[in-house]
Structures are given as C-alpha cells and as structure tokens.
C-alpha cells in the first residue's frame, strides 16, 4: 500500500500558531543566512565563474514549485535559439549525494536523481549532478556547453550567475512569510525581488500572476504507457476511477489537475524523491495508475500494462521567452557574461 507523504508543519501554509521553539530557531537561521549573503555581497566570500553564462532557476521556499518543467522548457527554447545548453543539478534523493556523475535518460534515478534523469530524457542535453555546482558547471563548459542552466540553486552563491529566475507556487505562495523552521522560506521574500524574472506557477488554473511577474501554466493532455506504445489522450480516463501516484513537493496539485479533467482520483501521496518498490504500487485493484513523470522514471523496472506517466509542459507567454533571450543576448554583447575561470 502507499506510504503517506510526510506532512509539512501546519503553521507553514495554514493558520496554526507558530511554536515558540520554531520562532527562536528562525531567528538564529535568519542571522546565519543573512551573514552568509552579506559576505558574498561584499565579496568577502568568493563567487566562482563557470567560464560560460549561467542561468539559475530556483525558489526561496521549501517544496515543489514547478522548477523542473520550467527548466525543461527553458533548455528547449535555448536550443531553438542556437545555444548549446547543459544542466547542472545537485540531484536530491540520490544514494550517494556526495558523488558527481553524468546523467542520461537510462541512468538509474538512485544514482543520478529523479529530476536530472527526467531532464536528460526530455531534452537530451548534457546533465551533470554534483553537490558542488561550480564543479558541475565547469564540467559542462568543458564538455562544449555554451550556457549552463541550474535546476535549483538560488542559494548556491558560490557559483556566479548571469540571470536568475524565481518560481513560486500560486496556491501556496510564501506561506506564512516566515523563515525556516517557523515558515517555509529559505530566504526573506525580499530575496525574490533581486531575481531577474519572477514566475508564478498557476498549474492549470486561469488567472494572472500579478504585476512584475510572469504566469506559467502546466499543461497535461496525454498519458504515456510506461511499457511503451502510443500515448492515450488524458480525456479517455474521464468518468473512471484511477490510482494517482505523486511523490513530488506538492502532490495535491497533481491530483487536482487530474480531477479537473473529470477523472475519479484515488490519491496516493509519497514523500518527495521517494524510492519506489513494486509493493508501493500494489493497491489491490487493477485500476489504471497515473503518475507524474518524476515518479515514472523510478517505476520502470516493475511497471505493468496499466501504469501510465502523465507528462506536463510548462506554458509561458511568448513575451517571457523573448525577454529572456534578449537579456542573455544583451549580456553576451556587452561582455557581462563572465567567461573567466577565476
């Protein structure tokens, strides 16, 4: 049976009172992280260049916000514009988090990380995982990449970056607005204002992101059999019950997306980066099982005919891509994109 996902503290995204111990620890955390930012801002701690432009896609909150779909879409746009991108990631959830390796579509997610394997399969660009993102970025540059896209890493100040994109979940926002562990913030909200682009993940919802921000919607219209074969339109599952599996930062968003398609969802939420076994998908009935792409890459070894992956595509206004590519081109023309190996 499914293993319930670990609960986030009630006070992060709810109305519960923040415990005193969490508020006290948040004060300590604020002091330490603030000192670290100050040291980097004053160049008392050095930033290291990758030798090519670096674009960081990240968030200031704990949990999933949609960074990986945006990373995939960004890499594809860069490719279409003539760039040769590579992707650097820490590879959360790997068995040996201290190791570094190249990741391909066929890499064991336990070795390369679920998100890097997904990115490699979707883009076919070089993907390097390493806790030291400077080392990862330099390996990508040495491999012939002329731009490095970091999936996560806004707080990895040691790596010099040319552009930053912040991603925030529209439903959760910044929660109670407090720093860890009193709230979900890794850094104060003012940190987001320093990013070059601010993207709001609206999921499949209508609406707008707000002034100074860009709207992103996640579109899902098909289900891909894990054992191969032609995709099925997601609408074919409307009116029937399915087991829905999500081991991501915000499983409820996946369940809601399926329900909005008229699908009867039996939800199974797992921890983010959960390592699946066949028993995890033994639900006692042979209903179709729909899961996120991130989960699917870890379930291929014991997949059955009724197991499906639901790919999502990040959809943003065309003006966003125009602005992003123009900003990168402008930095290249002006020489602001650092190419030294300091």
pLDDT for the residue 334:
62
Q: Which residues contact 313 (CB under 8 A, 6 or more apart)?
A: 69, 73, 218, 219, 220
pLDDT for the residue 4:
46
How much is the average pLDDT of 208-232?
A: 91
Helix (H) or strand (E) holding 151: strand 147-151
Banded pLDDT at 211 (limits 50, 70, 90): confident
Residue 111 has pLDDT above 50, yes or no: yes
The fraction of the chain above a pLDDT of 70, given in percent, is 93
Q: Token pair for residue 63?
A: 């949990």
pLDDT for the residue 340:
39
pLDDT for the residue 208:
72
pLDDT for the residue 33:
95
Banded pLDDT at 342 (limits 50, 70, 90): very low
3-state secondary structure of 138: helix
Query: How does pLDDT run across 75-99, given as a tens digit for each residue?
Result: 999 999 999 999 999 998 888 888 9
Do the beta carbons of residue 2 and residue 269 sit within 8 Å?
yes
pLDDT for the residue 80:
97
What is the residue extent of each domain of the chain?
46-217+316-333, 221-311
CA distance 89 to 118: 12
Do the beta carbons of residue 102 and residue 96 sit within 8 Å?
no
Banded pLDDT at 188 (limits 50, 70, 90): very high
Residue 255 has pLDDT above 50, yes or no: yes
CATH topology of domain 46-217+316-333: Rossmann fold (3.40.50)
The terminus-to-terminus CA distance of the chain in angstroms comes to 52
pLDDT for the residue 93:
82
Banded pLDDT at 331 (limits 50, 70, 90): confident
pLDDT for the residue 179:
98
Burial of 186 (0-12, 13-18, 19+ CB in 10 A): middle
How much is the average pLDDT of 168-192?
A: 95
How much is the average pLDDT of 250-272?
A: 94
Give me the chain's average pLDDT, please.
92
The fraction of the chain above a pLDDT of 90, given in percent, is 84
How much is the average pLDDT of 173-188?
A: 96
pLDDT for the residue 85:
98
- Pick the more confident residue, 309 or 205: 309
pLDDT for the residue 82:
96
pTM higher than the cut 0.85: yes
Residue carrying the six token digits 């068995």: 95
CA distance 1 to 17: 33
How much is the average pLDDT of 136-158?
A: 96
- Signed CA dihedral, 342, 91, 111, 141: sign only: negative
Do the beta carbons of residue 88 and residue 143 sit within 8 Å?
no
Query: How does pLDDT run across 2-25, given as a tens digit for each residue?
Result: 444 456 899 999 889 999 999 999
């Amino acid at each position: 049976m499914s293993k319930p996902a670990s609960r986030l503290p009630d006070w992060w995204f709810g109305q519960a009172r923040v415990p005193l111990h969490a508020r006290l620890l948040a004060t300590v955390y604020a002091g330490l992280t603030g000192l670290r930012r100050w040291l980097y801002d004053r160049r008392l701690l050095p930033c290291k260049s990758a030798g090519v432009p670096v674009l960081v896609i990240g968030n200031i909150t704990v949990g999933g916000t949609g960074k990986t779909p945006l990373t995939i879409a960004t890499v594809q746009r860069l490719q279409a514009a003539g760039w040769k991108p590579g992707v650097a990631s820490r590879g959360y959830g790997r068995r040996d988090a201290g190791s570094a390796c190249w990741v391909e579509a066929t890499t064991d997610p336990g070795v390369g990380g679920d998100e890097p394997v997904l990115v490699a399969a979707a883009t076919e660009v070089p993907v390097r995982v390493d806790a030291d993102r400077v080392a990862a970025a330099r390996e990508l540059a040495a491999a012939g990449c002329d731009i490095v896209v970091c999936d996560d890493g806004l707080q990895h100040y040691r790596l010099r970056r040319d552009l930053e994109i912040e991603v925030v979940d529209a439903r959760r926002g910044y929660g109670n607005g407090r720093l860890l562990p009193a709230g979900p913030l890794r850094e104060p909200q003012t940190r987001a204002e320093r990013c070059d682009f601010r993207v709001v993940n609206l999921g499949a919802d209508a609406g707008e992101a707000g002034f100074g921000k860009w709207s992103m919607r996640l579109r899902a219209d098909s289900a891909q059999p894990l054992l191969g074969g032609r995709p099925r339109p997601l609408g074919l599952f409307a009116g029937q019950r399915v087991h829905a599996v999500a081991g991501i930062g915000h499983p409820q968003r996946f369940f809601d997306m399926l329900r909005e398609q008229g699908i009867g969802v039996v939800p199974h939420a797992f921890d983010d980066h959960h390592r699946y076994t066949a028993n995890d998908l033994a639900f006692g009935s042979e209903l179709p099982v729909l899961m996120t792409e991130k989960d699917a890459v870890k379930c291929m070894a014991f997949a059955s005919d009724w197991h499906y992956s639901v790919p999502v595509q990040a959809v943003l206004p065309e003006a966003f891509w125009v602005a992003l590519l123009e900003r990168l081109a402008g930095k290249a023309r002006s020489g602001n994109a650092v190419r030294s190996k300091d």
